[in-house]
Amino acid sequence: MGGASAFIDHADAIGSTTMETDPSGTVDWDEVNGPWGQVWQETGTRQSEVFAGMDWQVNDPLIPSATREYSDGLGRWMTPDPGGTKVVNMANPQTWNMYAYVTDNPTTLNDPSGLAACSYTNLSACFEVLNNAHASASEENSSHQSAYPANSKHKQKPSEWPHGGGVGVGGAADAGVVITGAAATGSIAGGVFYKPGKGLSTGATTTGGAVAYAGKKDAGAPKQDRPARNLGASAGAGAFVFVTNATSANQLSGHFQTRTLNVGYGPVQATIQLSTGNGIWELSISPPYGGASIGGSVSSITTETCSTPGGC
């Protein structure tokens, strides 16, 4: 049904609408397409259209599948295959192109899922792939449940806004004059995290890093991803609060570049620490009288965080 009147769609061998008629059989719209979906000839006004099993909205320049969009003008997908290199068959060069549509066989195959070409004459196989794509997209907000490594911790681009926070205790000591110095930091923390569509979760982290360096040479743990730098001298320990864009403690695992500002004398102290890595950031602040320290310094070193649940 479309609008205020009834119409009947007529499809070709690959599931593309080529004609619309009213219940009496009168043709209201018909179309002749090229193999990639290009409109070669059209009469009448269409109410809706399906190209190769994919709904095509009137006046929409792109055709959406379950996972990505197709351009009939270019004859290709607009984004690479969500499965990445896992879907490449070295024996079939047509699969090497991540943007190719139905392995360049548009007259016999279609791909309403955006994940795998299939024959329209084998509807059960087409719908199995399509249903898997829809189920996975709703549960994981990803294109396909097997398209990414099982141990991947950052399947999506993280949000820049805070999604978690908590409290912890830690300590740091460092001394240096930029080109040579040493620094060490360590902490334990626990927090609450919010993941859209999943709700709240809790978790704990342990973070540490130590390095001694001179010029471009350094020694310590973990291995420095960037040259360590320090200016000044300080030592202290105390409580802190933190906020992060991580949606789970698991996302805080791994290497981070940690930048620290320490200023204090006795119980009057302030420490600000910013850790970034893999699109994740964590900002922690130690309030005055939250601990004790002496001296002043700024430093930047690579640290490693282990989380529970999650690991290092």
Mean pLDDT of the chain: 81
22 and 130 inside one domain: yes
Q: Which residues contact 143 (CB under 8 A, 6 or more apart)?
A: 67, 68, 82, 83, 114, 115, 133, 136, 137
| pLDDT per residue as tens digits for the range 125-153 | 555 555 555 455 444 444 333 333 333 33
Distance CA 134, CA 67 (A): 8
Mean pLDDT, rounded, for 235-239: 91
Per-position b or e across 191-209, b if 16+ CB within 10 A of its CB? bebeeeeeeebebbbbbbb
Residue 262: C-alpha distances to residues 88, 178, 257, 271, 272 (Å): 51, 15, 16, 5, 7
Q: Which residues contact 82 (CB under 8 A, 6 or more apart)?
A: 67, 68, 114, 115, 142, 143, 144, 147
Evaluate if residue 258 carries a pLDDT over 90. yes
pLDDT given at position 10: 83
Count of structural domains within the chain:
2
The answer to the question of residue 285 being in a domain is yes
The answer to the question of residue 157 being in a domain is no
Residue 49, H or E segment: strand 49-51
| pLDDT per residue as tens digits for the range 197-207 | 778 889 999 99
- Please give the structure tokens belonging to residue 287: 């309030």
Evaluate if residue 5 carries a pLDDT over 70. no
Amino acid at 294: I
Higher pLDDT, 71 or 52: 71
* 168 C-beta neighbours (distance < 10 Å), count: 19
The answer to the question of residue 99 being in a domain is yes
Evaluate if residue 39 carries a pLDDT over 90. no
Higher pLDDT, 161 or 241: 241
* 129 C-beta neighbours (distance < 10 Å), count: 18
pLDDT given at position 146: 37
Distance CA 86, CA 155 (A): 15
Distance CA 144, CA 155 (A): 11
Specify the 3-state DSSP secondary structure of 126: helix
The answer to the question of residue 141 being in a domain is yes
Domain stops at, among 101, 124, 148: 148
The answer to the question of residue 181 being in a domain is yes
127 and 235 inside one domain: no
Domain assignment of residue 66, given as a range = 1-148
Evaluate if residue 191 carries a pLDDT over 90. yes
Instruction: Give the range among 104-108, 144-148, 194-198 with minimum mean pLDDT.
Output: 144-148
| pLDDT per residue as tens digits for the range 205-227 | 999 999 999 988 899 999 998 88
139 and 1 inside one domain: yes
88 and 177 inside one domain: no
21 and 142 inside one domain: yes
Cis peptide before 112 (omega within 30 of 0): no
* DSSP H stretches of helix in 59-192: 123-140
